[in-house]
Structure 1
Amino acid sequence: MITVHHLNNSRSQRILWLLEELDLAYEVKRYERDPETMAAPEALKHVHPLGKSPVISDSATGRTLAESGTIIEYLAERYGGVNREDAPLLPAKSPGAAGAENVSSDFDAAYWDCKYWLHYAEGSLMPPLLVGLITARLRKAKMPFFVKPVASRIADQIDGTFTRPRLKQHFNFIESHLAQRDWFSAKHLTVADIQMSFPLEAAASRGLLGTSYPNISAFVNRVHARPAYQAALKHGGEYDFA
C-alpha cells in the first residue's frame, strides 16, 4: 500500500492526481499547516527529516521518498506509467545502439521533453513564483507602522527588478510552447503535465496570467476537467493554489 503524507495546500496534491491516473490504491495521512506561519507541522519530520511534503511510503518496497519529481518518476516507472501503450505517462526512452554513430537514436523527443518539463517546473518556474509569494506576504505582515512603508518599498523593488520580469519571460516561453499542443511533451497527458500543473495553477489563482496567456489558461482548464484530477481533490480535501 502506498501512503501519501499529504500536507494541505501543497505540492502533494499532484501525487494524489498521479495515483488516480495510475488507478492505484493508496491511503492519505493528513497534515495541516500552521494557520499563522503556514509552516508544516513537526509531525512530518518523523516521516522525513526535512518535514516537508510530498512524502510517500511504499509498503511493497519499504521505501520512503520525498521530492515531487522523484516520487512521480518512481510511481510511473514502478507502477505501469511507462507501459501503457496507448498513452504512457512516462514516455519510454529509445534503446539506442552501441557506437557513437548511432547515439542520436537514444534521444527520443517525447522522453527528453518529458524529462525537461519535469525538472523545469521546480528548477526554473517555481523560484520566481516563491519569491512573489514571499514579497506578497511581506506586504501583509504585521510590523510597526513606521517599518511598513520600508518593507513595501523593498517588496516592490524585488518584484519590479526580479519577480515580474522573470515570470513574464517564463510565461511567454510556456505560452509559445503550448500554442500548437495540448500537453507539454506528447499528444497525451504525461508526468510532465502533472508536475507543471502546480506552478501554473498557482500563477492562475494569483491573477498573474490575466488574459495574456490563453494557452496556459486552457492547459489549466484541461487539467481540472480530468476525472482523475477531480477524484484526487475529493481525497486530498480543500486545495488553495495560492
Structure 2
Amino acid sequence: MLKIHHLGHSQSERIVWLCEELGVPYELVHYTRDPVTMLSPPELKALHPLGAAPLIEEDGMLLAESAAIVEYILARYGHGRLQHAPDHADFAAYLYWFHFANGNLQPVMGRSMMIGRCALAADHPVQTAVQGRLDKVLALIEARLGQNDYLAGSDFTAADIMSVFSLTTMRLFQPLDLAPYPHILAYLQRIGSRPGYQRAMSKGDPDLKPMLT
C-alpha cells in the first residue's frame, strides 16, 4: 500500500487530497512542525536529506517533490482521471497551470514571506518588486477563474490540486487578503465543497479549518 509521509500544514496536503479524489488506498504517517522553528522534525530528516514533505513510499521506493509524486500517482492510479490527454482541447492549459503552481505561485508566495520578515519599507525597491510580482500572479489567476470554473478549463484537475495550497494553507505563513479577487474566492468555495478535499483536510490537518475565505 502507498504510504504518505505528511507534514501538517504543508504542501503534502496535495498528496492526501489527490488520493482521496482518486480513491487510492494509502497509509498516512503524520508529522508535526517544530513549534519554535516551524521546520520538519528529525524523523522526516532521517528519511530524506532535505527533511521535507511530502514523501511517499511504495514497494521499497521513496519519492519526494509534490509535483513528481502527483505525476507518479496519476500515472499509476489515475487511469486518465484528473488530467487531460494530449488530444484534449485544454491539454496545454492543463500543463501550464499544473506547473504554474510550483513555477510561479508558490515561489512568489515564499519570496513575499521571506521579504516580509525583513521588515523593509513599503517603498523599498526589493519590497516593491516582490509585491508587484505577487500582484501580477494573483491577477492572472483571477482573470483565468473569471473565464473558467477551474484552472485547466471547465473540469477539476490535478492542476487545481497543485495550486490550492498556496491560496489557502500557505496563508498561515504569509497572510494574504483575497478580498480584491472575487473569482479566486468563488473558486475556493467550489473547492471547499468537494468531498475529497473535505476528507483530505480532516485526515491530514484535523486541527486546521481550511482557509477558503
Query: How high is the TM-score relative to the length of structure 1?
Result: 0.79
Retained in 2: the 8 A contact 1:6–1:236?
yes
SS in 2 for 1:35: coil
Paired with 1:14 and 1:6, the residues of 2 have a C-alpha distance of: 10
- The alpha-carbon deviation at position 155 of structure 1 amounts to 7.9
- Residue 192 of structure 1 corresponds to 159
SS state at 1:153 partner: coil
Say which of 200, 203, 207 aligns to 1:232. Answer: 200
CA drift at 1:81: 4.4
Of 168, 188, 202, the residue aligned with 1:220 is 188
Q: Is 1:32 aligned to residue 4 of structure 2?
A: no
- The within-5 A match list for 1:59-208 is 59=59, 62-82=60-80, 88-94=81-87, 108-136=88-116, 138=117, 151-153=118-120, 157=124, 160-202=127-169, 206-208=175-177
Unaligned runs of 5+ in 2: none
* CA positional deviation for 1:121: 0.6
Q: Which amino acid aligns with 2:82?
A: L
Change (3 A) 1:29 1:155: farther
Give distance in 2, aligned partners of 1:241 and 1:167. Answer: 22
Give me the whole-angstrom Cα distance separating, in 2, the residues matched to 1:50 and 1:154.
Answer: 33
Which residue identity lines up with residue 150 of structure 2 in the other structure?
A: W
Rounded Cα–Cα distance in structure 2 between residues aligned with 1:111 and 1:124: 19
What SS class does the counterpart of residue 120 from structure 2 fall into?
helix
Shift of 1:158: 6.2
Supply the RMSD in Å over aligned alpha carbons: 2.2
> In the alignment, which residue of structure 1 is the partner of 2:9?
9
Cα offset for 1:204? 6.2
After superposition, give the CA deviation of every residue in 1:149-173 in whole Å (9 maximum; x if it has no partner).
Answer: xx53368736632221111111111
TM-score by length of 2: 0.88
Q: Write the letter of the residue equivalent to 1:121.
A: A
Structure 2 residue matching 1:89: 3-state secondary structure: coil
The 1:162/1:54 distance shift into structure 2, 3 A limit, reads same
How far apart in 2 are the matches of 1:55 and 1:130? Answer: 20
Secondary structure at the aligned position of 1:30 is classed as strand
List gaps (5 residues or longer) in structure 1.
83-87, 95-107, 139-150
User: Aligned letter for 1:215?
Assistant: H
Contact 1:9 1:240 in 2 (8 A): no
For this pair of structures, how many residues does the alignment match?
208
Could you tell me which amino acid in structure 1 is paired with residue 96 of structure 2? Y
Q: Is the 8 A contact 1:12 1:53 kept in 2?
A: yes
- Given residue 177 of structure 2, which amino acid in structure 1 is its aligned partner? L
Deviations 1:43-66 (A, max 9, x none): 11222221101111123xx32111
